[in-house]
């Protein structure tokens, strides 16, 4: 948990890997304080979900590879059930790509190729909306 707390304390800084969102207030800040047109990639997952756990290191690597294009966040669905329900997440892992407070793409399942494709597509659209 120490790493998750440290990540939340560094919330909003560029150049970091995946930032854990620890509470509803942080989640709201994440959406409302995001830089205009900045792509956010939100991983909805659970500690009891084997594909989520196995995909974690891949998501970390992707966050570093795409650091210039997007900010990466992890939401534990058991810690933030209200935000998970509001986001209409029905399976884990689910990834939402968000820009200007709106979900622009959803990838359900631990599908690295599809997630990379969606990040490339929507990161390229930065500033063109």
Angle ∠(51,87,10) on CA atoms, nearest 5: 75
Q: Which of 21, 40, 52, 115 is catalytic?
A: 52
Q: Which of 16, 17, 49, 53 is catalytic?
A: 49
For the record, the structure tokens of 26 come out as 């942080």
Q: Assess whether 49 carries a catalytic annotation.
A: yes
Nearest by Cα to 62 from 27, 31, 93: 93
Residue with tokens 């500690």: 47
For the chain, give the number of residues. 129
Query: Could you tell me whether strands 39-45 and 94-99 are parallel, antiparallel, or unpaired per DSSP bridges?
Result: antiparallel
Going from the C-alpha of 16 to that of each of 63, 86, 115, the distances in angstroms are: 8, 27, 19
Q: Assess whether 3 carries a catalytic annotation.
A: no
**Active site positions, annotated:** 49, 52
């Amino acid at each position: 948990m120490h790493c998750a707390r440290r990540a939340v304390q560094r919330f909003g800084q560029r150049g970091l890997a995946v930032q854990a969102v620890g509470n509803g207030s942080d989640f709201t800040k994440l959406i409302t304080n995001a830089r205009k047109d900045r792509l956010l990639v939100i991983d909805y997952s659970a500690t009891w979900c084997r594909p989520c756990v196995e995909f974690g290191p891949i998501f970390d690597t992707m966050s570093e590879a795409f650091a210039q294009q997007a900010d990466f966040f992890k939401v534990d669905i058991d810690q933030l059930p209200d935000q998970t329900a509001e986001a209409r997440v029905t399976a884990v892992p689910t990834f939402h790509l968000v820009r200007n407070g709106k979900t622009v793409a959803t990838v359900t399942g631990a599908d690295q190729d599809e997630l990379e494709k969606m990040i490339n597509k929507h990161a390229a659209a930065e500033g063109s909306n």
